[in-house]
Structure 1
Amino acid sequence: MTFKTLAVKCPTCDKQVLMTDDFPYRPFCSDRCKTIDFGGWAAEKNVIEGNTLESDAWSEDDSQGY
């Protein structure tokens, strides 16, 4: 039985990355690309859309003194 190795594009630079132990930063091609991506999340440039959390709703309208 033979298995195909999954290949994906690095989310940062689009280089091909094999999902093997040869690529320890997978799905990124390198530590640099992983760090660049993390920086986008830390700077809130990357977001996952969803419903507003109840705690977020309370913090937006704190004028009622709750």
Structure 2
Amino acid sequence: MLKIKKNCPHCKKVTDLSSSNHFRPFCSEKCKLIDLGTWANEEKLISRPIESEDFFED
């Protein structure tokens, strides 16, 4: 199984993106809940409507 590594969006610690990491793309439940809290407090917002092209990478 190929393990892809990437930095956690919250703390920037290297984390595993495979299905064995239940908190992906975060490194831990703590980082996942902190991110959820920022969305719930409306500290993060989507700045424009989502287009179908947003789901495809260049």
The two structures share one fold, judged by TM-score above 0.5 = yes
TM-score, normalised to structure 2, is: 0.72
Q: State the secondary structure of the residue aligned to 1:5.
A: coil
> Is 1:8 aligned to residue 16 of structure 2?
no
1:31 corresponding residue in structure 2: 29
What percentage of aligned pairs have identical amino acids?
Answer: 38
Larger Rg belongs to: 1
- Which 4+ runs in 1 deviate beyond 2 A? none
Q: CA deviation at 1:6?
A: 1.4
Structure 2 unmatched ranges of 5 or more: 50-58
Q: State the secondary structure of the residue aligned to 1:8.
A: strand
TM-score, normalised to structure 1, is: 0.64
Which residue among 10, 13, 16 is the counterpart of 1:18? 16
Which residue among 34, 37, 46 is the counterpart of 1:48? 46
Q: CA deviation at 1:5?
A: 2.2
What do you get for the CA RMSD once the two structures are aligned? Answer: 1.4
Count matched residues. 48
